Amino acid sequence: MLTFDDLRSLQARSRRLHLAVSGQGSTESDAKTLRRFSSWEVCELILGINQSTFRGQLAADRSFPPGKVEPNGRQRWFSLAEVNTLRRRLTVRGRTLQPDRPAGRAFRTAFANFDAGTGKTTTALHFAHAAALDGYRVLLIDCDPQAVLSRSLGVTHVSREQTIWGILARDLVTQTAQMNAAQAGHASHAAPASLRKLGLEDLRNTDFIRKTPWSTIDLIPSCVEAAFVSFASTHYRQLDRDWSHYAALSRFLDHLPNDAWDLVFLDCPPGIGFHSINALYASDMLCVPTAATWDDFDSTTAFIGQIAAVLEELGQDTRAAGTSTRAKAFCDMRVLLTRFDSDNPEHRATRDAFGAVFADRLSQNPIQSTRALEQPGRLLRSIYEIDYREMTRDSWRSSRANFDRAWSDCHDAILPAWRTIAAMDA
């Protein structure tokens, strides 16, 4: 016989062992830092300006950040903060280098699909890095209890309350209190005692948001315990049927200041559970990374059908609760093939099939398989983070160009959708 007490003591033993092995909790990933970018990268790949013009402007004005020269090196290397200062201050033929940013709140994109391993986290991470190098301020939300994205950003030891779990659980507590207040004297809703004693309602929105090694990328982390909320949400809903559980993350995002971030990327766990539904409901655009096999074609198209069913259901739910008259709709959707190999006949055939179904919503720039990204374990490093001197310059360049094109395609879809939202909110 094995009761929950036995299981709990096994877990406690495992945790003690883990802490001992990782030296009181400081693991390698905690020390994650961001490299500097060479003047070649800054000019050609980041700011898009001529190298000699750049050198001329830097020499003429000593107040520009000078970057650092490495011992025995000739190039100057700039931190992300220095790159952003340069972007703010430099102009090319009277043109600013600042990215296009419609007024109003940040634009929200969810990365979701049915299966694990389709490249959701890899794509969210690369697009966040590419967007940050374009000058955007990004808020990443790790909605997956596996927390691959959190770990990949060097965020490992967070208390459960200060993760996506805390946001969802706090929502239940505060919504319950509000529903009771609205019923003046007839309080009929009760948040579970296990949640009430945590003091979640005292947490501020900023308590959930972490800095990352990228100065313009912030993160709402996840943790393994967040998986519990998926189970618990079903249980809580039985306690409180009026709780709009799918809108918790959306409510949270609506209360963030408009001008703190430009883009919000939500990395979903596989499938449609509590976290994914919250992420989808909060998002303006859906990005569906998928491998190019027939199995993935089937599961990806089935996933789209499941989202349709969920949204229809939620539409009925919100109308019944009288909370919203507008049904949830996405501004746009992108389907993105990942780990694509153009020499593989199955990949080519499924690309055509995806094209026949999704037409121009299929990104014309599939992400190719890249050796450097076949990273075993649960820590991803983007091609933007990898120093090009670690690889042959050509393979680094072509891999980076591959992600640049995929990001550019997604960005082209984001901008008009973002303008539409800005106009609606104005």
Ligand X SMILES: Nc1ncnc2c1ncn2[C@@H]1O[C@H](COP(=O)(O)OP(=O)(O)O)[C@@H](O)[C@H]1O
Binding interface with ligand X (CB under 6 A): 116-122, 148, 338-339, 367, 369-370, 373-375, 380
Residues paired with residue 78 on neighbouring β-strands, in sequence order: 37
For ligand X, give the closer residue by CB, 119 or 135: 119
Q: Does 222 engage in binding with Mg ion (CB under 5 A)?
A: no
Nearest approach in angstroms of CB 166 to Mg ion is: 20
Do 51 and 7 form a contact (C-beta atoms < 8 A)? no
For ligand X, give the closer residue by CB, 47 or 110: 110
For ligand X, give the closer residue by CB, 87 or 120: 120
For Mg ion, give the closer residue by CB, 38 or 121: 121
Which one of ligand X, Mg ion, none interacts with residue 370, CB within 5 to 8 A by kind?
ligand X
Amino acid at 335: V
Which one of Mg ion, ligand X, none interacts with residue 369, CB within 5 to 8 A by kind?
ligand X
- As a dihedral over the C-alpha atoms of residue 307, residue 313, residue 318, residue 324, rounded to 10 degrees, the angle is 50
Closest CA to 137 of 37, 45, 35, 260: 260
Q: With 0-12 CB in 10 A as exposed, 13-18 as middle and 19+ as buried, what is 108?
A: buried
Amino acid at 267: D
The first and second tokens of residue 179, run together, are: 């529903």
The residue at minimum Cβ distance from Mg ion is 121
For ligand X, give the closer residue by CB, 118 or 300: 118
Which one of Mg ion, ligand X, none interacts with residue 216, CB within 5 to 8 A by kind?
none
DSSP codes, 175-217: HHHHHHHHTTT-------HHHHTTTGGG--GGGG-EE-SSTTE
Q: Does 400 engage in binding with Mg ion (CB under 5 A)?
A: no
Which one of Mg ion, ligand X, none interacts with residue 338, CB within 5 to 8 A by kind?
ligand X
Which one of ligand X, Mg ion, none interacts with residue 117, CB within 5 to 8 A by kind?
ligand X
39, 84, 109, 121: which one binds Mg ion (CB under 5 A): 121
Nearest approach in angstroms of CB 339 to ligand X is: 5
Binding residue count for Mg ion, defined by CB under 5 A:
2
- Rg of the chain in Å (alpha carbons): 23
The first and second tokens of residue 267, run together, are: 């990395």
* Direct distance between the N- and C-terminal alpha carbons of the chain, in angstroms, rounded to an integer: 62
Which one of ligand X, Mg ion, none interacts with residue 290, CB within 5 to 8 A by kind?
none
Nearest approach in angstroms of CB 347 to ligand X is: 12
Amino acid at 297: F
Give dist(CA 129, CA 133) in Å, integer: 6
Return the number of other C-beta atoms located less than 10 Å from residue 166's C-beta.
Answer: 24
Nearest approach in angstroms of CB 360 to Mg ion is: 26
- As a dihedral over the C-alpha atoms of residue 191, residue 195, residue 196, residue 198, rounded to 10 degrees, the angle is -160
Q: Does 120 engage in binding with Mg ion (CB under 5 A)?
A: yes
Nearest approach in angstroms of CB 291 to ligand X is: 9
Which one of ligand X, Mg ion, none interacts with residue 38, CB within 5 to 8 A by kind?
none
Q: Residues interacting with Mg ion, by CB under 5 A? A: 120-121
